[in-house]
Structure 1
């Protein structure tokens, strides 16, 4: 029996579905898949571009009605027949709004309405998404990565709630995908030197708002064949998007290329087969996913969906850990690094600096431990700086009685003073992913 793939896309506002996944949606529809788009809010807090519609800005109810019409038109352009808003007829979640932070990324607004999505209990949001999952029974689900693309609090909340919803739902989806764009792709999409950009009238970007990818990007979907549908869907969101040639701009007027490729990492479920990844990224969101097996729902009671968790940013404990470890390594390494054994080969004495080797091995092990434990270079670099500074202090006889511990005229001491920082610099360029943490 042939099973028709079913794919659910969960987005925060009308227009998000087209900007980030419009090509994938149109591609799936053209292939005969059943596609459902779930939109969490009606974008009540959006800014309005057309001058003739400026009166809608601040009119949350009025703008919501217009954006409902816009997304309906966009769905027709993409070929989607199933679209719904989160909460259905029982609950309305509203656009939380956002502010631009000094780093060029979005952050939560200073104030938001009581019904704001970001203010809602995450379990409540997740259970509403789970209800849609159980009703539609998707083989794959697509939503934002943990960074929300550019940090919008509603995008982040949708990511969190969708990730939690796969545990609440009775239906076991086969794969959870996150939209995640490579840094170089984001940079190129905003490049004002691209052919045709000068003709758009859009402003060049001063900073790239997209955040670096969170997960390992394993899917690179070519959507160039359906680019006209994606462009038409963008034009449908006229209150939020301006389109000119192969470019579009939001209310800030900053131009970017309409993407002809869309990228994804896997948050849970069936991985991409290694033989495919060995040759590069997978070409399709359903690559390696056996929808017939997902449809059968065999052994789901004892085999819950395995979720890959994105590493969190290091917290205060990580830096306390790195400080203590750095102090211990600095003291032990300084005490140890001058120890040698002299071996005579005939009449030639050979100095074996085993103390220095042991000290550097200790530093390498400690720094690598911090790097892999927190999947970040920051705690490791803190420890390396502490090792270097404290070792230098031990060599200052006027500060501490340590002239016999660090002898700057010896090569061994020079190597010990510089070695930990060199190790940290090398480790910083090594990408550590480790084994996926699952649930």
Structure 2
């Protein structure tokens, strides 16, 4: 990694990165900044939306993870990202699965595989990431908040591993065999703007779409992953790279329906729907702010 500015993203499953920060990844890669993605599991427990691939499911042939490995490679090609790794190597940690709590957020499934990421030893998993951090030496890292956005156990675990690894990587005396110490200057949590989400839902409902994001009211309570605007720290305008983001999302065909809510939202709002990606600053000092009080570059102030 020879770029002067380097971004590390830590995500739980293939497709999380494209939905969350696909446009930012494409923008920074196009600008010659270093972009490294670490995916913590193969997404083996995902729901399969392509009927002819149903045989890959965990309760059948259990080969979904390998298939999604190919989907992620295709998505990275669309985004122009050439540095992608699986935490500890592909197959080290398995998708833990999830179920829905009556309160509307995800929780751990009743039956979890022995090597599920949710059961991973925190220090062991963090050490895999420490090695990456010390090799890549990123100034900025992006991961989930402490609730993993909506409660998925693998998202929560990715937050824990990323946070712990960032701390350990900065300690000069810790695991010298993993490389020279490196302190990540800024850490962000991915976020969804409440104002933007309400506007998007309103546009869908005004267009007569009552099924996309079913159950969400533009004027009512919103899901856990939506962030009040006053808690946002940064917005990256990557509207010029929305088509790359959507192409990357389409590459994750087993997980994202091409006629589903993500694409319906894009059709109704245009590039602004997915071209503006929001973040919360979890570590570091903010750089220059725009008129809305937000940074417009994750590397601002460095």
Give RMSD over aligned pairs: 2.7
CA contact (8 A) 2:148 2:156 kept: yes
What does the per-residue CA deviation read over 1:275-305, in whole Å, with 9 as the maximum and x for residues that have no partner? 626752111211222xxxxxxxxxxxxxxxx
SS in 1 for 2:141: strand
SS in 2 for 1:55: helix
Out of 249, 267, 290, the position equivalent to 1:234 is 249
| 1:45 CA displacement | 0.3
What does the per-residue CA deviation read over 1:395-432, in whole Å, with 9 as the maximum and x for residues that have no partner? xxxxxxxxxxxxxxxxxxxxxxxxxxxxxxxxxxxxxx
Gaps of 5+ in 2: 170-180, 217-221
Bigger RCO of structures 1 and 2 (CA < 8 A, at least 6 apart): 2
What does the per-residue CA deviation read over 1:215-267, in whole Å, with 9 as the maximum and x for residues that have no partner? 93110111211000000000000000012398348xxxxx9995221111111
CA contact (8 A) 2:204 2:212 kept: no
Matched, 1:25 2:25: yes
**1:45–1:18 CA distance, 2 compared to 1 (3 A):** same
Residue in 1 that maps onto 2:214: 205
Residue in 1 that maps onto 2:80: 79
Larger Rg: 1
**Aligned-partner Cα distance in 2 for 1:284–1:194:** 32
TM-score between both structures, scaled by the size of structure 2? 0.84
SS in 2 for 1:148: coil
Out of 167, 171, 177, the position equivalent to 2:188 is 177
CA contact (8 A) 1:26 1:226 kept: yes
Residue in 2 that maps onto 1:130: 130
**Aligned-partner Cα distance in 1 for 2:211–2:251:** 19
Matched, 1:66 2:67: yes
Matched, 1:262 2:277: yes
TM-score between both structures, scaled by the size of structure 1? 0.59
What does the per-residue CA deviation read over 1:15-72, in whole Å, with 9 as the maximum and x for residues that have no partner? 0000001011011011111111100000000010011111112247410110000000
Residue in 2 that maps onto 1:165: 165
**1:262–1:134 CA distance, 2 compared to 1 (3 A):** same
CA contact (8 A) 1:189 1:259 kept: no
| 1:190 CA displacement | 4.0
**Aligned-partner Cα distance in 2 for 1:217–1:14:** 25
Residue in 1 that maps onto 2:139: 139
SS in 2 for 1:287: coil
**1:280–1:68 CA distance, 2 compared to 1 (3 A):** same
**Aligned-partner Cα distance in 1 for 2:38–2:61:** 20
| 1:4 CA displacement | 2.1
Matched, 1:220 2:235: yes
**Aligned-partner Cα distance in 2 for 1:176–1:42:** 24
What does the per-residue CA deviation read over 1:323-367, in whole Å, with 9 as the maximum and x for residues that have no partner? xxxxxxxxxxxxxxxxxxxxxxxxxxxxxxxxxxxxxxxxxxxxx
SS in 1 for 2:70: helix
CA contact (8 A) 2:36 2:84 kept: yes
What does the per-residue CA deviation read over 1:177-203, in whole Å, with 9 as the maximum and x for residues that have no partner? 1112233333444446357674xx954
How many residues are paired up?
278
